[in-house]
Amino acid sequence: MLLLLLFEQTSLDLHLESLFYDPAIADFPLRHHWFFAVVMHHGMKQLSIALLFPAAALCLLAMRGKFDWLPPRNALLALTGMLLIPFTTALLKQLSNRHCPWDVIDFGGYAPYIGLFATTAHDIAPGMCFPAGHAASGLAWIVWALALAHSMKAFSRVILAFSLAFGLAMGLARMAQGAHFLSHVLWSAWWAWALSLVLARLFRAKIVAAEPVVSDDARTEQTNPNGQCIRQSQ
């Protein structure tokens, strides 16, 4: 997998995070900056929670067959995905050994930077900082790209772009504060997409774009060599 090759075989995480670190003060200058702390962290988190309620209400209505463009199974997919993506990401964090950048020795911390499958020394507490939980709140909207793919293919692509931009912006902001490495954010995106696919299969949701409906009249129409439309007899 590309993510494994990109981050487990290189020092890309450390190189990128060093761009936000100032050795002169042994800290990340943007760690407590009001824009990142208030707007990008707390503000964006509250926004994602606020958007969840109307989206959940929409799903509940759709599960009762209220909307042709959102079949009940697809609504169940969207609702479950929005809840499970951030929840399972937070659960994975609790099981992780990986530390946040501000806790890593290279950036003034106490713990070594370790790989995805490595373990920490017995005298160092688990980092519980992987994958990126904050970004997962925005990336949870990825599930809507699948839920709408059947009936609104073009719009589902817009939703996919929005969710990636939303989640990555939240993740990059936390990177600037020293809270996450880039690999943490990208693995969260992978997890959101993978979990969405699993749920879609579990719920048997319609995630393949519907074929355009062709009428009987249209099927019997043919074009003659002169470009004129002729109709076959029924």
pLDDT in tens, 78-127: 999 999 999 999 999 999 999 999 999 999 999 999 999 888 888 899 99
Tell me the residue range of the domain where 88 lies: 2-116+127-208
Q: Would you say residue 211 has pLDDT above 90?
A: no
Contact 69, 151 (CB under 8 A): yes
In the three-class reduction of DSSP (H, G, I as helix; E, B as strand; rest coil), residue 198 is classed as helix
Residue 203 lies in a domain: yes
pLDDT band at residue 232 using 50, 70 and 90 as cut-offs: very low
Residue 233 lies in a domain: no
The CA R_g of the chain, rounded to the nearest whole Å, is: 23
Domain count, the chain: 1
Does an H or E element contain 197, and which? helix 182-203
In whole angstroms, what is the distance from residue 171 CA to residue 182 CA?
A: 8
Q: What is the mean pLDDT of residues 202-224?
A: 68
Residue 232 lies in a domain: no
Residue 216 lies in a domain: no
Prediction pTM value: 0.88
| Res 234: pLDDT | 42
Residue 213 lies in a domain: no
25-62 burial, b at 16+ Cβ within 10 Å, e below that, comes to eeebebbeeeebeeebbeebbeebeebbeebeebbeeb
